[in-house]
Structure 1
């Protein structure tokens, strides 16, 4: 055990949060998968649990590998990976695997699994932005024209290719990018121009889809979800209604593991609406505990960002960490009907290979940043090893 702990470096609290959430996910995923298993005719919930377990093991291996790489290497790597991510997004949009008329996945050869390219592109984009903001001359950063192509171009490319099939993900990535730009010292005036351009681009896309309906049918889906949310139409907003029933039936202590009833009626009960299943089975206490774990995750990300030894490390930890947290709170907000249905998974808990892998990769990168911090413990260790403290016979 001590050997394993010696190999695990970085922020131990963040490690503990990630592992606890991953292990806990086995119970609600197994319970909520019964609906999905019978829906597709297999009825094999153990098979779905095994698949989720494999995803978790691969994710934790990816996290460990990512945390062993110096975070300084991720900056140059993002320059190579960004064009690859854009190509994958284009391929996904044109030839990807579609679910509910939305092309968001590509098929992984030989395994039969699907991979959501937007998750990979978002991490690469965050790394690229953090690197650019830390490397560029502050005077150049003040110029909108000089940063238009190298900094803003990738943001609009990535978000633009995700938008037609997944508005919520594109909006979340765009929002996190704006936060990272603000933290990185990008002028507020230029930020407002970017936000205005983004809104204008969205309106243009909506107008084009209304003029050419064959281009995309996602706008009608967006309109329906926002309308149902604002009007509180329970008949049309079936998913949220069942989620609220699950939360209400959970009461304080819940029905117990595996005893959820609404999981049999909730679409995507093991992914998008897994928080409702958790509250029904573990009650308000379980729901609050899960929420507190994400709050602790936020605290650790802020601490790691604050203690980072470089501007790149600070922006890298903040960008990748905030991306995970925003996704988590959006998922929770949808489950309790604070936000319209978006289709965002709950990080480290929901079923889904690409979500688990990319979340673990992001956490591994944050842990890599925490490895580079000079803590009081390392300073004390270094002081003990100074020449004056080494015995003469050593």
Structure 2
């Protein structure tokens, strides 16, 4: 075991933050799992806790294995990974999965270990690596918009297009983060403006179809519309549509400053998805505002360390890679917390490293392993690159 710790490379602060978040997750998961046992009649609390522990243990093995891979190897791995994830996303759309009687083809079951693999999480990581590789490749030369369509925007559109039918929120988040990475990576702003403008037009058309002809959209369209309506007009929403949001608010109100104490949540027994999407509400009910802000602090600290690692990375590719795979972890945490306090519509995004789940934990650990790989100062950079004052990411990094 001591030898294992000696072999840990990369940013020790990130290792510590991730370990603390994982250890803390056992408390709310064990508490909230009573909903699965006594309300949904699935398994035992100890069984769910053991499953969560096994998933985290395997996740840390993924971190350990990935963080020892030299960062520049991920360039080649993205060339192999992108076609694979496109095939997986296409196959996922053919696998029928129902949530509350509504089709939601998001997962591929893995029978041997009894978990479901959400292909969109892997696809988003591979896509970010692909974009980082492309942006680092064109960094020192002028390109035309037409040049970037095939190597950059076609893969982006394919990935987002295959995620969208079953998981609108994830597709929207991936699209937003792609724009952020391209901006930080120095992609020409005039071309980025074309993409953003096109996206706004398409979003407007999508909303028009959603409200005027929802039958033309996938089965999930009704859920999307209900969530948007509940967010914009909560007072006019149906009891079914607003129930979970109201329960989350009640849990937060019950928590007050210091909370009821570990395991003493009442709302966990009536709040659906209390172990995943709404686990932050249970955390605040049991640990109060102090516990909620403490958890937020650790995610902000993780964000700070990710920026520090990006700043100290030896190559442009490594800088973009860290931002591309690291930023979504913290962004997803903010989205999950924002949904619970009704800053955003319900999205179904779990709280990274805290929520009970399946392969989403592994994909978060994969991203963390990549960040740690880039933070290893003992790696030999394949070539030395000068700082470009016109690259927004490097200008930002140089100021921190």
Identify whether the pair has TM-score above 0.5, normalized to the shorter chain: yes
Check the 8 A contact 1:33/1:48 in 2, yes or no.
yes
Larger radius of gyration: 1
Residue by residue, what CA displacement relative to the aligned partner does 1:249-292 show, whole Å, maximum 9, x if unpaired?
Answer: 11111111111000011110000000000011111111111000
| 2:252 equivalent to 1:247 | yes
- Report the Cα distance in structure 2 between the residues aligned to 1:97 and 1:54, rounded to whole angstroms: 24
Residue by residue, what CA displacement relative to the aligned partner does 1:68-91 show, whole Å, maximum 9, x if unpaired?
Answer: 111111111011110110111111
Check the 8 A contact 1:321/1:362 in 2, yes or no.
yes
1:380: which partner in 2?
none
Residue by residue, what CA displacement relative to the aligned partner does 1:177-196 show, whole Å, maximum 9, x if unpaired?
Answer: 11110111101111111122
Check the 8 A contact 1:98/1:105 in 2, yes or no.
no
- Report the Cα distance in structure 1 between the residues aligned to 2:20 and 2:139, rounded to whole angstroms: 42
2:358: which partner in 1?
353
Residue by residue, what CA displacement relative to the aligned partner does 1:125-174 show, whole Å, maximum 9, x if unpaired?
Answer: 0101001111236434x311000011111111111111111111001111
Check the 8 A contact 1:309/1:373 in 2, yes or no.
no
Q: Residues 267, 232 of structure 1: CA spacing in aligned structure 2 closer, same or farther, 3 A cutoff?
A: same
- Report the Cα distance in structure 1 between the residues aligned to 2:304 and 2:355, rounded to whole angstroms: 22
Q: CA RMSD in A?
A: 1.9
1:291: which partner in 2?
296
Check the 8 A contact 1:52/1:352 in 2, yes or no.
yes
- Report the Cα distance in structure 1 between the residues aligned to 2:35 and 2:327, rounded to whole angstroms: 32
- The range that moved more, 38-47 or 350-359, is 38-47
| 2:16 equivalent to 1:16 | yes
Q: Residues 165, 4 of structure 1: CA spacing in aligned structure 2 closer, same or farther, 3 A cutoff?
A: same
Aligned mate of 1:221, from 197, 209, 223:
223
Q: Residues 298, 123 of structure 1: CA spacing in aligned structure 2 closer, same or farther, 3 A cutoff?
A: same
Check the 8 A contact 1:206/1:219 in 2, yes or no.
no
Per the normalisation by structure 1, the TM-score is 0.91
- Report the Cα distance in structure 2 between the residues aligned to 1:296 and 1:374, rounded to whole angstroms: 24
- Report the Cα distance in structure 1 between the residues aligned to 2:379 and 2:118, rounded to whole angstroms: 36
- Report the Cα distance in structure 2 between the residues aligned to 1:206 and 1:160, rounded to whole angstroms: 16
Uncovered stretches (5+) of structure 1, i.e. residues with no partner: 376-394
Check the 8 A contact 1:308/1:373 in 2, yes or no.
no
Aligned mate of 2:376, from 360, 367, 371:
371
Uncovered stretches (5+) of structure 2, i.e. residues with no partner: 381-400
Secondary structure in structure 2 of the residue aligned to 1:371: coil
Secondary structure in structure 1 of the residue aligned to 2:93: helix
Q: How many pairs are equivalent?
A: 374
Secondary structure in structure 2 of the residue aligned to 1:363: helix
Secondary structure in structure 2 of the residue aligned to 1:95: coil
| 2:187 equivalent to 1:182 | no
Higher helix share: 1
2:166: which partner in 1?
165
Residue by residue, what CA displacement relative to the aligned partner does 1:332-384 show, whole Å, maximum 9, x if unpaired?
Answer: 00011111111100000001122110000000000000004689xxxxxxxxx
| 2:94 equivalent to 1:94 | yes
- Report the Cα distance in structure 2 between the residues aligned to 1:219 and 1:77, rounded to whole angstroms: 35
Per the normalisation by structure 2, the TM-score is 0.89
Deviation at 1:199, TM superposition (A): 3.1
Deviation at 1:43, TM superposition (A): 5.0
- Report the Cα distance in structure 1 between the residues aligned to 2:217 and 2:94, rounded to whole angstroms: 12
- The range that moved more, 310-319 or 101-110, is 101-110
1:232: which partner in 2?
234
Where does 1:1-394 land on structure 2 (aligned, <5 Å)?
A: 2-100=2-100, 101=102, 102-136=104-138, 138-140=140-142, 142-205=143-206, 211=213, 213=215, 215-233=217-235, 235=239, 236-372=241-377
